[in-house]
């Protein structure tokens, strides 16, 4: 790569919480293709973060909310 060229950086985000997620697999395949062309890639899997999803009024199964 010449000094004038820059490396493309690509982040793929998977938001599925399901084990064996097809969405995650699709993101992995896309990132692999991008890496094969020289891009730097990173997979961000939202399952790795302690996110709270409030789908209803009963949130007893979720971690306590942070106050700040």
| pLDDT attached to residue 8 | 96
Q: Torsion over CA of 22, 48, 66 and 64, rounded to 10 degrees? A: 70
User: pTM here?
Assistant: 0.68
More confident residue, 1 or 49: 49
Structure confidence at residue 68 as a pLDDT band (50, 70, 90): very low
Q: HSE (CB half, 13 Å, CA atoms) of 24? A: 13
Q: Is residue 27 within 8 Å of residue 11, measured between CB atoms? A: no
| DSSP codes, 4-63 | T----EEEEEE---STT-HHHHHHHHHHHHHHHTT-EEEEEEGGGS------SS--TTSP
pLDDT digits (tens, 9 = 90+) for 9-67: 999 999 988 888 999 999 999 999 999 999 999 999 998 988 776 666 666 666 665 54
């Amino acid at each position: 790569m010449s000094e004038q060229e820059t490396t493309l950086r690509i982040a793929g985000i998977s938001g599925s919480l399901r084990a064996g997620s097809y969405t995650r697999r699709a993101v992995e395949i896309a990132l692999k293709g991008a890496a094969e062309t020289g891009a730097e890639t990173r997979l961000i899997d939202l399952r790795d973060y302690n996110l709270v999803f409030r789908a209803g009024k009963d949130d007893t199964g979720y971690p306590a909310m942070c106050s700040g």
